[in-house]
Structure 1
Amino acid sequence: MQSHVITGNAAIDAAERRGWFVGEFITPTDDPRSTSALEVKWGIHVAGDRRAQWAGPSDSATLSVLISGRFWLQFPDREVLLADLGDYVLWLPEVSHSWWAEADSVVLTVRWVAESRERFNRSFNHGCELADNPEFGQNP
């Protein structure tokens, strides 16, 4: 019988999966960390690491939280620096992004599939101007 409490180390568990340690790609599929509801990544980046190409729009909302370091995320309309412990950025589905590590950095990233853009906006908008922008999510 499988335990109802799972423990581990994100860095160790994610080492073979490019940082991801919760998500549908976890095997075996009866492992409680194997889920299509969300994906969690423990990203360890050395200074100078960068995503060479932009990640295209997806159907997932994404939240990245800085654990340590200085980490930049680039979006079509702005750049965001995560510089202090706990700094975060959340981007909605359909937004392209890229990133680079200014200093050695650890970033926790959580992705979840939004059932639809409209439903996501109703649930999370709370005055967010991006959701009302007709060019939201368009590639440059």
Structure 2
Amino acid sequence: MDDDSVYVGNAGVDGPAEGGWLLGHFLPPGDPRHSTDVEVKWGVHAAGEARSRWATDEQRTALLVLVSGGPFRLELPDRTVLLAEPGDYVVWGRGVDHSWYAERDSVLLAVRWPSLPGYRVAPPVRR
């Protein structure tokens, strides 16, 4: 097996270098973590952190899973989803605007597909 086709890492160590993203188009071509099909994020958010701005005109489908901590609030145009217990998750599709707020320290796993350039936003803000 070609060693260049396997990457072994730690989400807590590797994630901060790319804003938590472990897999996606923004990693260099040739890196086993480069993908135009899917993005995976290990999100570590302190209590009081919020998305810097709403995601609008969304062109991807997303899955968000609470790994630890919480509650973590996903804000949608017509409702708020509260992820309160580890394992709670939400899926939303293309065209659904969203934002989020960490009520307490939280770790989440996010998966988005496809991986599209141009969706980076500023780091989270403290409210």
Normalised by the length of structure 1, the TM-score is 0.76
Supply the RMSD in Å over aligned alpha carbons.
1.5
CA distance in 2, matches of 1:51, 1:26: 22
- Counterpart in the other structure of 2:54: 54
Higher RCO structure, 1 or 2 (CA under 8 Å, sep 6+): 2
Partner of 1:123: none
CA deviations over 1:49-102 (Å, ceiling 9, x no partner): 011421112210000000011100000011001011110000001100010000
User: In the TM superposition, what are the counterparts of 1:90-109 in structure 2 within 5 Å?
Assistant: 90-109=91-110
Question: Percent identity among equivalent residues?
Answer: 49
SS at structure 1 position matched to 2:12: helix
Measured after TM superposition, the shift of residue 113 of structure 1 is 2.2
Q: Distance in 2 between matches of 1:51 and 1:33?
A: 24
Q: CA deviation at 1:16?
A: 1.2
Q: Which has the higher strand share?
A: 2
Which structure 1 residue ranges, 4+ long, deviate > 3 Å from structure 2? none
Number of aligned residue pairs: give it.
113
Task: For 1:111, give the aligned amino acid.
Answer: R
Match of 2:73 in 1: 72
C-alpha separation in 2, matches of 1:56 and 1:97: 7
* 1:4 Cα deviation after fit: 4.6
Report what 1:13 is aligned to. 14
